[in-house]
Amino acid sequence: MNSSTTKYIFVTGGVTSSLGKGIISASLAKLLQARGYSVTIQKFDPYINIDPGTLNPYEHGECYVTDDGAETDLDLGHYERFLNTPTSQANNVTTGRIYQSVIDKERKGDYLGKTVQVIPHITDEIKNRFQLLGKSGRYQFVITEIGGTVGDIESLPYIEAVRQMKWEHGKDCLVVHLTLLPYLHTTGELKTKPTQHSVKMLLENGVQPDVLVCRSIQSIDEDIRQKIARFCNVAPDAVIEALDAKSIYDVPMLMAKENLDKVVLEKLGLPTDTVTDLKSWEEFLVRLHHPHQKVRVALVGKYIELKDSYKSIAESFVHAGAANDVQVEVEWIHSEDVNDESVSALFEGIRGIVVAPGFGKRGIEGKIVAIRHARENNIPFLGICLGMQCAVIEFARNVLGFKDAHSTEVNPATSHPVIDLQEVQKKITHLGGTMRLGAYPCLIKEGTKAWEVYGHKKEVSERHRHRYEFNNEYLKDFEKAGLKASGTHPEAGLVEIMELKTHPWFVGVQFHPEYKSTVANPHPFFIGFVKAALQYQPQHEVARVQKV
């Protein structure tokens, strides 16, 4: 494919943040992909951090990790879940990264003594990054979501770079502007003024949007469409209504109904009569919206107030629920609320427990109590990353009798460092950083739960984001007592999966299965966990039935 034929679509946001640019971008990409085009989506974030890896989840929600070990914005998770194609480091760029490479070039003397300025040097670097994936020749469409809201000081260089791209690429470049039509209850009207103002702001920066996607809680009638079209210089059919949806996965269908893909194709000079194949997506939606039963599971974590912190886990449950024809109701339980006194009441009626990933000390003891509850009551359990590490600590303390067992992340002075930094880990860590990030192979032992879960695969690849590891010096003790390693790194022997032989479904994984769950490919560990939760019957209920 000739890279000069790559079409560039930019998605900007106006009026307010949190309008769902990520979901609109992913939905448009889905519709184009369903017409047979190769599409990728990238996100440009206007903050100075090099990547969101160092950001507190309270600040920015979950940090999503790609196969190549990039710590990225959570919107990349949506892109992968919708498109079922992996993203990479190149799909998430921040202002920090742009400035870093410009400054590096300046230090190397690449600018030949010129004064280095926002225009053209920063904007050139932005334009280069805009086109990096397009120039790889792998994509017919590159959709770029510009983070932030039009009018922010930070966004200006990006909007300027979009202006230049439009000028240079003409018909191969298009801008979709996402905006809000607030509804005034007192007058019972949708108001268009904020939209007019945000388009004016774009125009002041030299960018004429081609398509307006208008978030609204009410249908947009013909009059409003005409009015927006007239004030904002767009065709009435390019004013797209985006109503609140029951699920984010309904949005591609809503956008198809509004002909968003057709309008975009027309404007880019491409045929609009190609067939859209959304059959499997529609089948997924039927299963999602018409579950046969419900199952309640708990997610134990320390960022429960902000559900975006566990976005990929929540979405993995949606995928795995649909795969099992059930609705998974997730009870979010704060790890700091769990203790020996509260545990039974907190987990009443819960059919499965997931212990979330995390860093640091806060909430660890609560997680350990929750795991003991799952282990002793045969409740299906999935421990993810720190969740697996806590399962190891719990087992060491309460089964092996190593009373002060801990991870050296929390207690460096423990006499039983069952989770520790491993020399061998340091050797396989990408780029010499201290974190194990991105995809690593994992060998699966035959005849184990993991073997069953993965459908008898000998080797799988999963994504990691952690520093500490299971301490193999203790492996014999654990295996003798029943907690066995069922997945290991092929060369380093690092333990990637542990499972309890004497329990119906008790698994800890050092990696993050949630990063790889998509609509088309729900992760087998979440499917298996939900299946086990459906089969679980609490002992007191079994006893009651027997008595009757």
| Contacting residues toward ligand GLN, per CB under 6 A | 357-359, 385-386, 409, 465-468
- Omega cis (within 30) before 120: yes
Compare residues 53 and 291 and give the one whose CB is closer to ligand GLN.
Answer: 53
Compare residues 373 and 467 and give the one whose CB is closer to ligand GLN.
Answer: 467
Contacts with 481 (C-beta within 8 Å, 6 or more apart), sequence order: 395, 399, 400
3 state DSSP class of 225: helix
Q: Minimum Å distance from CB 437 to ligand GLN? A: 10
3 state DSSP class of 137: coil
Task: Say which amino acid occupies 161.
Answer: A
Q: Is 456 a catalytic residue?
A: no
Q: Minimum Å distance from CB 169 to ligand GLN? A: 40
DSSP 173-210: EEEEEEEE--EETTTTEE--HHHHHHHHHHHHTT---S
Q: Minimum Å distance from CB 252 to ligand GLN? A: 31
- Give one word for 113, left, alpha or beta, with left for phi > 0 and alpha for psi -120 to 50: left
Compare residues 157 and 357 and give the one whose CB is closer to ligand GLN.
Answer: 357
Compare residues 206 and 433 and give the one whose CB is closer to ligand GLN.
Answer: 433
Q: Is 540 a catalytic residue?
A: no
3 state DSSP class of 354: strand
Compare residues 23 and 393 and give the one whose CB is closer to ligand GLN.
Answer: 393
Q: Minimum Å distance from CB 440 to ligand GLN? A: 14
Picking from 180, 184, 179, 156, the residue whose alpha carbon sits closest to that of residue 44 is 156
Active-site residue (options: 406, 503, 512, 523): 512
Q: Minimum Å distance from CB 468 to ligand GLN? A: 3
Q: Minimum Å distance from CB 464 to ligand GLN? A: 8
Contacts with 228 (C-beta within 8 Å, 6 or more apart), sequence order: 192, 195, 196, 212, 214, 220, 234, 239
Which pair of tokens denotes residue 69? 């070990």
Q: Is 499 a catalytic residue?
A: no
Active-site residue (options: 232, 385, 390, 442): 385
Compare residues 159 and 385 and give the one whose CB is closer to ligand GLN.
Answer: 385
CA distances from 362 to 227, 386, 409 (A): 53, 12, 12
Through-space distance between the first and last CA atoms of the chain, rounded to whole angstroms: 70
Active-site residue (options: 62, 145, 409, 514): 514
Phi, psi (deg, nearest 5) at residue 244: -60, 135
Cite the active site residues. Answer: 385, 512, 514
